[in-house]
Structure 1
């Protein structure tokens, strides 16, 4: 079962790769992030923790592109502005 720190590390990796590529922003979807870390889909998924990490990493200029009704689902999409 992934821990919040694992989600944070993977999110930082994705952002760093996008910065190296010179992108102006990166959009991250919670379901994809969780799949990359592991444990999703599955009965012991940690989607609420994944979504919390994504929201906690937001800075000025970042925006939520899509939020599921519960706010904590696999379709949460956040656009992170680059460079950080």
Structure 2
């Protein structure tokens, strides 16, 4: 399989993909890592709606992750 775009419903599945990817450049991604850890502890920490959790991989190599919490309390983030 080549490029795969995936939306996640389970934060643990997204965490398994996103966390190692973000950790490579930890200083640049500290805010995203913090939000991701918060979501792992309590999925509705930022509101009633589910957060958007997305990854794009190429041959199982993560190229991009996207994380969006519900509007108002936190901004949108995209990294890749």
Larger helix share, 1 or 2: 1
TM-score, normalization: structure 2?
0.28
Greater RCO, CA 8 A, separation 6+? 1
TM-score, normalization: structure 1?
0.28
